[in-house]
Structure 1
Amino acid sequence: MSQPITVTTVAEGVARLVWSTDTTIDEVRREVARALVDHPRVETLVDPDDQAAQRTATWSGMHREGVMRGVTVEDGPVDRIVYARLATDASVNEPGGFRALLNSFLPRKRAISQVLVRDPDDRVLLCRLTYKQDWDLPGGVVEVGESPRLAAAREVEEELGLTLDLGPLLLTDWLPPWGGWDDAICLVFDGGVHDASVLDRVVKQEREIRDVRFCTPDEVRELAADFTTRRVEAALRGEGDYTESGR
């Protein structure tokens, strides 16, 4: 017989569940339903290494909300995954409720949109950023619910004050985890060929952009990081390739 599930009120309207390893999903699901009668929120904190507890929390109807770092327990500070269910959450027996549950724990991939702008001499527009030494293509992170194409156009307008009609997708480049960043997908769109005088219309976003200029291939290799150089060279081929770190 499994051990009883502990239910503790940890804040006004918030109940926290703790269960043993032999507790079943059905038992946790029933206790969550009972706790929601008197609490708008029911939560549990799960060890990131405990896959069984993560499955139990999920299939008992609790949404994964994120990782709480440095939780103080008897053995010292540890990380814990926060799962919770609200009284207002749609039933998991309804399509919308089930999709919301899945959406809370399925992997999410960061997306970055960049723009390849060239001049008639086949030089490439690069930006020197305030937060790193090497130069890069104009662009940035795609916001939640935003299309990558709109993100590319928005970033160029915000960073450089330029409104461009973007052409086709030139490159999809996967970026592996690096330097504290999670992995990401970088999409490079065609920004077209423009006379070098387009630089006269640039209005730099001072918080992010130190300088902007058209660069020859040799200058790209000199100023940009190796993986950025590979990405630029792949995008210049304009074949809609897929690469990994530019390779």
Structure 2
Amino acid sequence: MAWHAYLAEGNARQARKRVAADVIIRDSAGRILVVNPGYKPGWDLPGGMAEANEAPEMAARRELREELGLEIRTCGLLVVDWVPPHGPWDDQLAFIFDGGLITADQADALLPHDAELIEAAMLAPADARQLLRTRLLLRYDAALAALQDRQPRYLNDGHPTS
């Protein structure tokens, strides 16, 4: 029982990180799914914040289901980015997963399913980049590179650590 007490004390005192989990979803034409959230400026990748004790991959899948009615299977990790405190937020871990390919019919049917999103669009990678929030751009670029060489990236505020 001493071990459990030790673990409980650590759990109570150690930092807890916020976790963001997004996905890169493509279609056969190479376009990428981006979303326009109504509660913040700029476009974003689909996904969102993990709930308490929720795995990042499950958070991304849940958010896609809730916001777009889209059921996906992730195809691997692309990026983990440690994001330092900014504004009123503490630091966080931001994940991007490979959301795989969707069909043309799925892409054409994409519509926001809740009030968090204003719209969703499939865009060429460069066009998607033009709409994305500035804080996301380095992470997005790293995710696209990871799609190409199948090597996940670990970033520190958007920058490679080595």
Q: Please, what TM-score do these two structures have when normalized by structure 1?
A: 0.59
Instruction: State the match for 2:44 in structure 1.
Output: 136
Out of 181-190 and 117-126, give the one that drifted further: 117-126
1:107 to 6, 15, 20: 15
In the TM superposition, structure 1's runs of 4+ consecutive aligned residues that sit over 4 Å from their partners are none
Instruction: State the match for 2:153 in structure 1.
Output: 241
- Post-superposition shift, 1:175? 1.3
- Other structure's SS at 1:113 match: strand
CA RMSD of aligned residues (A): 1.6
The answer to whether the 8 A contact 1:196-1:214 is kept is: no
Percent of residue pairs identical:
36
- Post-superposition shift, 1:203? 4.2
Cα separation, partners in 2 of 1:243 and 1:162, compared to 1, 3 Å: same
Q: Radius of gyration: which is bigger?
A: 1
Aligned counterparts, 1:22-37, within 5 A: none
Distance 2:113 2:133 in 1: 22
Instruction: State the match for 2:97 in structure 1.
Output: 189
The answer to whether the 8 A contact 2:26-2:101 is kept is: yes
Distance 1:187 1:218 in 2: 21
Q: Are positions 1:222 and 2:158 aligned together?
A: no
- Post-superposition shift, 1:158? 0.8
**Partner letter of residue 241 of structure 1?**
R
Please, which runs of 5 or more residues in structure 1 have no aligned partner?
1-92
The answer to whether the 8 A contact 1:113-1:142 is kept is: yes
**Structure number having the greater strand percentage:** 1
The answer to whether the 8 A contact 1:159-1:209 is kept is: yes
Instruction: State the match for 1:198 in structure 2.
Output: 106
For residues 107-152 of structure 1, the C-alpha deviation after alignment (integer angstroms, 9 at most, x for no partner) is 1111111111012222211000011120011111111111111111
Distance 1:135 1:188 in 2: 15
For residues 72-100 of structure 1, the C-alpha deviation after alignment (integer angstroms, 9 at most, x for no partner) is xxxxxxxxxxxxxxxxxxxxx73222221
Distance 1:221 1:201 in 2: 22
Instruction: State the match for 1:167 in structure 2.
Output: 75
Q: Are positions 1:125 and 2:37 aligned together?
A: no
